[in-house]
Amino acid sequence: MRGEADERGSGEADERGSGGAGGGPGARCAGVSAYAGLVRCRIVVLDYGFGNVRSAQRALQRAGADVDVTADPDAALNADGLAVPGVGAFAACMAGLRAVRGEVVIGKRLAGSRPVLGICVGMQVLFAEGVEHGQRTEGCGQWPGIVRRLDAPVLPHMGWNTVSAPAGTRLLAGIAGDARFYFVHSYAATSLPLPGGSQMAQPLITWATHGERFIAAVENGPLSATQFHPEKSGDAGAALLANWLESVR
């Protein structure tokens, strides 16, 4: 397992989130706000034992969603959107996901074009494989590529950093180019290699640099993910979550 206590225990007391945009009418979301009569998205934060689920819940609520935290696969499958936060080691997170059939739920949702958002290690496990201390662990396999230890003079990469978003991004739309997001990690994917002849749509990749360039976010149809913690990234993170909820609607 990774040795950084901050990766396993970036606690609720560290939360830096702030309010985002409120919810609005939408065709895909079923819940109705008792306050304003507005349709609100029903989001499930998947509770599989390896994520700051309450931080994610509060941030998504502030962004305008009705949010449940649960490990129930039926609830996770049927929600308008599914958020999968994660902290700790790749192998441990995959074991936790499998224990609640989370990888099956993610696959079924994506097969039906239903939105999923991975956060931190919840993004990493979407890749094909993770390598930690010589141990290889199979991931969910939604993207090709390997998550490995960053080649950087100081690890973990802990604190605020800028990102470089691609043209056409929806996840970071309207967010200033010099905005900073909060990272806590030592491992990351540094490429997303699509095989020749692949029918998979080219994902939109946001990059960041700490020692070397790594993938900070991916947008790929109904599947989105961030290596940083939007729930701890202040106004920029709140805007990103509001953007994601718009894609859910």
Catalytic positions: 120, 229, 231
- Residue 149 to residue 130: CA distance in whole angstroms: 9
- Residue 163 to residue 229: CA distance in whole angstroms: 13
Tell which phi-psi region holds residue 128, choosing left (phi > 0), alpha (psi between -120 and 50) or beta: alpha
Tokens 């999923």 found at = 116
- Residue 152 to residue 240: CA distance in whole angstroms: 27
